[in-house]
Structures are given as structure tokens and as C-alpha cells.
């Protein structure tokens, strides 16, 4: 079935990576000094790779579009990072983390990659602590853990609700150290616009200096894209405003396959949309589901305040439907359940597109524990609530403050209103076991690749994957390629391939600025987002997807004839930056719908209404769809499907159950 080679090493699953590491070809120190590596992106995956490769002796150039590498969107990750440390002595192991991740991904991820991820997870925590990342600790001075969805152990390390920030600042400081030593050249406010290929291999990039508008050529023996996910194809998402697919999409157009684009994660706990002015959605960390209970009224169209609805008139629907995992079911399951209740007319708030996340029961429980610690017997309810609120504040204070700031409501007094929102994209550039795309010398790491999360990512696994790729995987696997490149001298950037790639990039910029139409870039982006959310969002069906494809094609034609981009190319011009990104999102949106239409099954974040069990759960078709869909770009925005068969040799494939 497979017509592409994932280059998974032979041997037992548990020893593949160890054997690979000890047999992978090495590059000697004097050769490393002359080998140049380009890293695009400075988030967890990019910054960690740039720092580590520079430490190893390679010449590194790192690019980011923000004004500082510290601002990459990894910084916004709240909840935590998984690692199979078993510090809580609750039966965790590398195998369990591997198993939970494969199951959580609904059996659509590659076993060998996921096992490697679980193996290196523990090293990440060690490395970050050594860098001075202030992870949460217990009074004994040891690291603290909490639970996350889709698991029954406590393996999530965290730093209040700012885990991504602290981990990124760790990677950023390692990167800045190399910059200070002159081993990494950092290019901030630069956007990659093309991959340069020479004799079929990636040999550099074309980037635009966003301040001056100048187009620059940069050579590299290899190019690594750590450019994040494409959730902003939906316009509204929890991504940063600048998060985009452009680097990955340009690579795709140069021959890198795009895998499983329809696998998008809709996060169950976000602050609901408040109006048409909304520019982005804000996540409330999944960690809140440790202590928050999700409910809706039992009565339809119940307009009473939450506090006026008595206990027996509340439907804790996750606890009812999934007693074993309760409020901690995986994200896809929790999101669909919220949509199901709201669609059925039980939603709350002004828009009726929200459910409650209620901390009262656990606040009281914590209060009772605190009271007993201080020797108060039979404490009254008020005392319990007061003491418990302090505990909740310590755990989630910054999230509660953020909620209050955005909604104007006090979540310590009334339950939060939440609704699912686009958060993460499991799909991305196809990579083999070495994290190399289908273009030799072009690598892809972190959220930008497709490799480890299958059809659904478990909470606290994104930070793990980004840092695993950058600190512990890519630095080894890239050696396998670079060891064969030691005799290649730096190619001068007046080579015809650079000239041609630069012309392509300039052609697009000039075309965009000269359309001089009547509608803003945001106008088109919002319309694209609307089509994607309605027809390729939490639930999809054949009819809707076919309509969406037609609508997106029409939108693309309209965009290229009627978009208005003010200003000129040769200056700081955020509208021009956005225009290029939205042009790529429109093409990607079409591919996502094509992929969703091709996958006649439901799995993880991809829910096709035609394929569900009687209870409304996702119904996989392992016989026909246990493959990675890797799409090849063809002239004129067409796509050809390649399949990589997924073989499960160590895990018994089963219907996912969290009941």
C-alpha cells in the first residue's frame, strides 16, 4: 500500500532509537565548522534545534518574523509538558506514554516515532531544569506533576499556567548564548518566502527583511522548518495573529508532501466568541479540567443564572457519558460533546454557544483539606470556600485573571463559560523517521510536521514534541544527511536557482500590491475562516466538503482580483505580509477539504458525520484508512495522494474507549 518510505530502522521497537543513535554517521568537528544549517522559526522546535546544532559546532542561521526569537507562539502554551518520569510512582513508564499517545491519536500515528518521543521525554525535563527553567515544585524541593486529558497517571510538569513561556525562555536563552558567542546568526523580522533547491536538494531560502522590504538570499547545506501550525486557516483560533503556513506551504510547492492536513484539533476549553470584532480566541488551559466540572442545564433554553440552577437540574454530561475519564477525556471527545449539547439546545450564555466549567465543588473540597490541615474541624461552607479559593488561585491564578479581563466576569464567583476553538494542527509537512521531508536536505520539526500525534494530540504533548525534535532528535538525524555533504562548498547565492527563487518571491509580492482591489486582506481571511469552520470544522460531511471546495476556489479567484494591499513592497508593510499568508491559507484550505473528503472514516479530530457509532463516537475504518495521506502539489493548485501504511506491531488496535 505504501508508495513512500518512512525510513524506520529495523529491529525491536524499544531498541530502534538506541541502535540508530549509535550507528548514525557522524560529522567530525572540523567539518561541522564549514557546514551551514538554516533554521526557520524560533519557537520550541526551532530555538532548541538552533542552539543545539550550534553547540555541536555547525554554523547556524536562524530566522523569525517576530522582533525577537523569544516571542514565538510556543510562549503561549499554558498547561504543561508530559514526560515519562514516574516521579509520582503511579505506574508510568516509557511504554505507557507511548501507548497513551498512540491511543490518544486514535491509531493514526507512526509507532516508531511515538516510541522515540516517549523515550526522550525524560531528558527534556532534565535539560530544562539544568537551564534554570522554574518548573513547579513541592515543599520537599522536588518537581510537582498534574494530570491531563487522556491519561490516568500524573506525568505533566508545569510552571503555573505559563509552562510554554518558561520552556521557550529556556530555549531562547540557550539560543541567545550561541548568538552571543557568534555561532548563530539571528535574523529577526524576516519572513521565509521560498525554498531554494539545487539538483533536487534544499540549499537555502529566500527571505524578506520585513523592516526594509529587501529580498535576501541565504545558503544552507540543509534547511530546517520549525514554523508552527496552520490553525489560522480558520481565521479565529488560539494561534497568534502572525502564525502562518507560508514557509511550510512554499516548501510544499517545491515538492515536500503535506500529510493529513484535515487533522485539526478543536480545543474544548476556550473563551466563547463575543462579537464580530473578534480577532482571536483565548484558550483556558486544559489543566483546568483537573478541578473544573463541565455542565449544562438539564432543561432546554434555560435562561436562569448558573447560581440559580440547583444541583439536580444540572447535566454533568462528560461524567455521565464517560464515567472512567469524566472531565478528563481527550480534547476531541470533550469538544464534540460540548457541540452536541449546544446544538441540541442546552447551551448557556447570550450566544447559547457555551457550556459551564465550574470550580465550586473542588474549591470546597480543597477548602476542607486546608481547614483540616489548620486543625479546623467541621468548617462551615464559607470557610471552606475562602480557604479553597486560595488553593485554586495558586494553581490557576493567571488563567482566572485572564478570563476576568476578557469577559468582565469574576470566575471565582460564577462558573466560566467555555466553548471549543481551533487550537492545534496535527497535520503538517510529511517527514520520515529522520524528520526529513520528501525534499532531500529539507527538514521539518515541531507542530509544522505531522509526525507524532496521529489524528488527535493529547494535552501537554506539543511542548514535549517540539523540544524532543529540537534538542534530542534532529541534531542526531540531520548528521546522517550532512555527513554526506562535507565535500560540498558553500554555494554562492548568485547561482541561477537562487535568482529564480527570488524572482518567484518578488513576482508574488508585486502581484499582490498591484491588484489594488476594493477589499482588505482580513475581509478574505474572515470569509475563508467562516467556510472552514462551518464545513471543515468540528464535524464534516461529504456534501459540505464538496461545497467548501467550490467556495474556496471561487474565493481564491476573487482574492487574486480584488484584494487591496496598501503601501509598497520596499518598507515595513504588515498588510502585505498578511496578504501573502492569506493567499497560502486559501490554497491550504482547499487541500484540507480534499483530505477530509478523501478520508471516509472518523478518527480523532477528524469527524465525518457519516461515520459514527450509535452513541455518536468516532468510527474508524482501519481496513481502508490506516494510512498517512501525504499530498503532492501539482501545477495549478492540484494535489496527488500518496499513502504511507501505518503498521501496528506493538499495540493492539482497538475502538478507543474512555467510558
Partner 1 sequence: MSTGNMNLTLKVWRQKNNKTKGALVDYKLSGISPDMSFLEMFDVLNEDLITKGEEPVVFDHDCREGICGMCSMFINGRPHGPKDLVTTCQLHMRSFKDGDTIVVEPWRAAAFPVVKDLTVDRSAFDRVIAAGGFISVNTGNAQDANNLPIPKMKADAAFEAAACIGCGACVATCKNASAMLFVSAKISQLALLPQGQPERYRRVQSMVAQMDAEGFGNCTNTGACEAECPKGISLENIALMNRDFASAKFVSEETV
Q: Can you tell me which of 40, 84, 97, 169 binds partner 1, judged by CB under 8 A?
A: 169
**Using CB under 8 A, which of the segments 138-146, 285-293, 329-337, 411-419 binds partner 1?**
138-146
Question: Is residue 159 at the binding interface for partner 1, with CB under 8 A as the rule?
Answer: yes
42-51 burial, b at 16+ Cβ within 10 Å, e below that, comes to bbbbbbbbbb
- Collapsing DSSP states into helix, strand and coil, what is residue 292? coil
Site for partner 1 in 87-106 (CB under 8 A): 87
Q: What share of the chain is helix, strand, coil (3-state, %, to 5)?
A: 40, 15, 40
CB of 52 or CB of 445, closer to partner 1: 52
**615: nearest Cα among 298, 268, 337:** 337
CB of 402 or CB of 597, closer to partner 1: 402
* Residue 24 DSSP code: S
CB of 157 or CB of 263, closer to partner 1: 157
Q: How far is the CB of 68 from partner 1 (least distance, A)?
A: 5
Contact between 295 and 633 (Cβ < 8 Å): no
Residues with Cβ < 8 Å from 70, sequence gap 6 or more? 42, 168, 169, 172
Q: Can you tell me which of 25, 397, 507, 566 binds partner 1, judged by CB under 8 A?
A: 566
CB of 68 or CB of 372, closer to partner 1: 68
468-486 burial, b at 16+ Cβ within 10 Å, e below that, comes to bbbbbbbbbbbbbbbeeee
CB of 181 or CB of 499, closer to partner 1: 181
The span from the CA of 213 to the CA of 574, in Å, is 11
Long-range own/partner contacts, residues 137-144 (CB < 8 A, 24 or more apart): 142/87, 143/85, 143/87
CB of 319 or CB of 409, closer to partner 1: 409
Per residue, the 3-state secondary structure of 29-92, as one string, reads HHHHCCCEEEEECCCHHHHHHHHHHHHHCCEEEEECCCCCHHHCHHHHCCCCEECCCCCCCCCC
Q: Can you tell me which of 29, 277, 374, 496 binds partner 1, judged by CB under 8 A?
A: 277
Residues with Cβ < 8 Å from 494, sequence gap 6 or more? none
Question: Is residue 186 at the binding interface for partner 1, with CB under 8 A as the rule?
Answer: yes
Question: Is residue 488 at the binding interface for partner 1, with CB under 8 A as the rule?
Answer: no
Q: Can you tell me which of 38, 84, 248, 283 binds partner 1, judged by CB under 8 A?
A: 283
Size of the site for partner 1 (CB under 8 A): 83
Site for partner 1 in 197-226 (CB under 8 A): 211
Which cell is 166 given?
518558561
Question: Is residue 85 at the binding interface for partner 1, with CB under 8 A as the rule?
Answer: yes
The span from the CA of 574 to the CA of 165, in Å, is 25
Question: Is residue 2 at the binding interface for partner 1, with CB under 8 A as the rule?
Answer: no
CB of 141 or CB of 310, closer to partner 1: 141
Q: How many residues does the chain have?
A: 659
- Which of 96, 208, 331, 417 is catalytic? The answer is 331
**Using CB under 8 A, which of the segments 174-182, 458-466, 485-493, 505-513 binds partner 1?**
174-182
Q: How far is the CB of 170 from partner 1 (least distance, A)?
A: 9
Q: E strands, 300-433, where?
A: 314-315, 355-358, 416-425, 428-429
CB of 426 or CB of 576, closer to partner 1: 576
Q: E strands, 84-189, where?
A: 156-157, 184-187
x/- map, 333-372, partner 1, by CB under 8 A: -----------------xx---------------------
Q: Can you tell me which of 73, 221, 395, 656 binds partner 1, judged by CB under 8 A?
A: 73
The span from the CA of 291 to the CA of 255, in Å, is 46
Q: Can you tell me which of 136, 486, 515, 641 binds partner 1, judged by CB under 8 A?
A: 136
Site for partner 1 in 457-476 (CB under 8 A): 471-472, 475
The span from the CA of 43 to the CA of 164, in Å, is 10
CB of 73 or CB of 218, closer to partner 1: 73
**21: nearest Cα among 440, 475, 471, 450:** 475
Starting at the edge strand that comes first in sequence, how are the strands of the sheet with 59-63 ordered? 184-187, 59-63, 36-40, 222-225, 442-444
Characterise 228 by phi-psi region: left (phi > 0), alpha (psi -120 to 50), beta (else). left
Active site residue 331: yes
The span from the CA of 136 to the CA of 129, in Å, is 11
Site for partner 1 in 532-551 (CB under 8 A): none
The span from the CA of 350 to the CA of 227, in Å, is 37
Q: How far is the CB of 241 from partner 1 (least distance, A)?
A: 6
Q: How far is the CB of 499 from partner 1 (least distance, A)?
A: 29
Question: Is residue 123 at the binding interface for partner 1, with CB under 8 A as the rule?
Answer: yes
Question: Is residue 373 at the binding interface for partner 1, with CB under 8 A as the rule?
Answer: no
Q: Can you tell me which of 126, 214, 413, 645 binds partner 1, judged by CB under 8 A?
A: 126
Q: How far is the CB of 607 from partner 1 (least distance, A)?
A: 26
**Using CB under 8 A, which of the segments 17-25, 273-281, 451-459, 593-601 binds partner 1?**
273-281
Helix or strand (DSSP H, E) at 584: helix 574-598
Site for partner 1 in 30-69 (CB under 8 A): 48, 51-52, 55, 66-69
CB of 197 or CB of 581, closer to partner 1: 581
Question: Is residue 29 at the binding interface for partner 1, with CB under 8 A as the rule?
Answer: no
Site for partner 1 in 230-259 (CB under 8 A): 238, 240-242
Catalytic residues: 331
Amino acid at each position: 500500500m505504501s508508495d513512500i518510505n518512512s525510513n524506520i530502522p529495523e529491529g525491536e521497537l524499544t531498541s530502534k532509537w538506541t541502535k540508530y543513535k549509535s550507528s548514525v554517521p557522524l560529522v567530525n568537528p572540523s567539518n561541522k565548522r564549514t557546514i551551514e544549517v538554516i533554521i526557520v522559526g524560533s519557537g520550541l522546535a526551532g530555538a532548541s534545534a538552533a542552539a543545539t546544532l550550534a553547540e555541536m559546532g555547525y554554523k547556524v542561521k536562524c530566522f523569525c518574523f517576530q522582533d525577537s526569537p523569544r516571542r514565538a507562539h510556543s510562549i503561549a502554551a499554558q498547561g504543561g509538558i508530559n514526560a515519562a518520569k514516574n516521579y509520582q510512582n503511579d505506574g508510568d513508564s516509557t511504554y505507557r506514554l507511548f501507548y497513551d499517545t498512540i491511543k490518544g491519536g486514535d491509531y493514526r500515528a507512526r509507532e516508531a516515532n511515538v516510541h522515540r518521543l516517549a523515550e526522550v521525554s525524560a531528558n527534556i525535563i532534565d535539560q530544562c531544569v539544568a537551564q534554570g527553567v522554574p518548573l513547579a515544585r513541592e515543599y520537599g524541593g522536588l518537581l510537582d506533576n498534574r494530570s491531563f486529558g487522556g491519561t490516568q497517571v500524573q506525568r505533566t510538569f508545569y510552571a503555573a499556567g505559563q509552562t510554554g513561556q518558561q520552556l521557550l525562555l529556556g530555549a531562547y536563552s540557550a539560543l541567545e548564548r550561541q548568538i552571543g558567542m557568534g555561532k548563530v546568526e539571528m535574523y529577526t523580522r524576516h519572513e521565509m518566502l521560498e525554498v531554494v533547491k539545487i539538483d533536487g536538494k534544499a540549499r537555502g531560502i529566500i527571505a524578506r527583511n520585513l523592516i526594509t522590504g529587501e529580498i535576501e538570499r541565504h545558503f544552507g547545506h540543509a534547511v530546517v522548518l520549525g514554523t508552527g501550525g496552520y490553525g489560522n486557516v480558520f481565521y479565529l483560533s488560539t494561534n497568534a495573529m502572525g502564525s502562518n503556513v507560508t514557509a511550510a506551504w512554499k516548501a510544499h510547492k517545491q515538492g515536500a508532501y503535506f500529510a493529513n492536513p484535515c487533522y485539526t484539533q478543536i480545543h474544548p476549553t476556550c473563551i466563547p466568541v463575543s462579537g464580530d470584532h473578534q480577532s482571536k480566541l483565548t484558550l483556558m488551559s486544559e489543566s483546568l479540567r483537573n478541578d473544573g466540572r463541565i455542565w449544562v442545564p438539564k432543561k432546554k433554553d434555560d435562561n436562569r443564572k448558573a447560581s440559580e440552577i440547583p444541583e439536580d437540574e444540572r447535566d454533568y454530561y462528560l461524567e455521565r457519558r464517560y464515567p472512567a475519564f469524566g472531565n478528563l477525556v481527550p480534547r476531541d471527545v470533550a469538544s464534540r460533546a460540548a457541540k452536541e449539547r449546544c446544538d441540541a439546545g442546552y447551551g448557556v450564555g447570550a450566544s447559547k454557544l457555551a457550556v459551564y466549567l465550574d470550580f465550586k465543588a473542588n474549591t470546597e473540597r480543597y477548602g476542607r483539606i486546608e481547614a483540616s490541615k489548620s486543625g479546623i474541624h467541621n468548617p462551615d461552607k464559607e470557610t471552606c470556600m475562602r480557604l479553597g479559593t486560595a488553593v485554586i488561585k495558586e494553581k490557576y491564578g493567571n488563567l482566572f485573571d485572564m478570563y476576568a479581563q476578557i469577559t468582565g466576569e469574576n470566575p471565582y464567583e460564577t462558573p466560566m463559560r467555555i466553548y471549543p476553538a481551533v487550537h492545534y494542527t496535527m497535520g503538517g509537512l510529511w517527514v520520515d523517521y529522520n524528520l526529513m521531508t520528501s525534499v532531500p536536505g529539507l527538514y521539518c520539526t515541531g507542530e509544522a510536521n505531522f509526525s507524532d500525534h496521529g489524528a488527535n494530540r493529547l494535552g501537554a504533548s506539543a511542548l514535549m514534541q517540539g523540544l524532543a525534535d529540537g534538542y534530542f532528535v534532529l541534531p542526531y538525524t540531520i548528521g546522517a544527511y550532512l555527513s554526506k555533504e562535507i565535500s560540498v562548498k558553500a554555494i554562492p547565492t548568485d547561482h541561477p536557482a537562487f535568482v529564480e527563487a527570488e524572482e518567484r518571491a518578488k513576482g508574488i509580492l508585486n502581484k499582490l500590491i498591484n491588484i489594488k482591489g476594493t477589499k482588505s486582506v482580513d475581509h478574505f481571511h474572515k470569509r475563508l475562516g467562516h467556510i472552514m469552520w462551518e464545513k471543515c470544522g468540528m464535524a464534516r460531511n461529504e456534501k459540505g466538503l464538496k461545497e467548501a471546495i467550490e467556495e474556496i476556489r471561487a474565493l481564491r479567484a476573487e482574492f487574486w482580483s480584488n484584494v487591496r494591499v496598501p503601501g509598497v513592497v520596499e518598507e515595513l508593510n504588515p498588510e502585505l505580509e498578511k496578504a501573502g499568508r492569506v493567499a497560502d491559507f486559501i490554497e491550504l484550505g482547499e487541500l484540507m477539504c480534499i483530505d477530509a473528503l478523501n478520508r471516509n472514516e472518523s478518527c480523532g479530530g477528524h469527524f465525518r458525520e457519516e461515520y459514527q457509532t450509535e452513541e455518536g463516537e468516532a468510527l474508524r475504518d482501519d481496513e481502508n484508512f490506516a494510512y498517512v495521506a501525504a499530498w503532492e502539489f501539482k501545477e495549478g493548485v492540484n494535489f496527488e495522494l500518496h499513502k504511507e501504511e501505518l503498521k501496528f506491531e506493538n499495540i493492539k488496535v482497538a475502538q478507543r474507549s474512555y467510558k
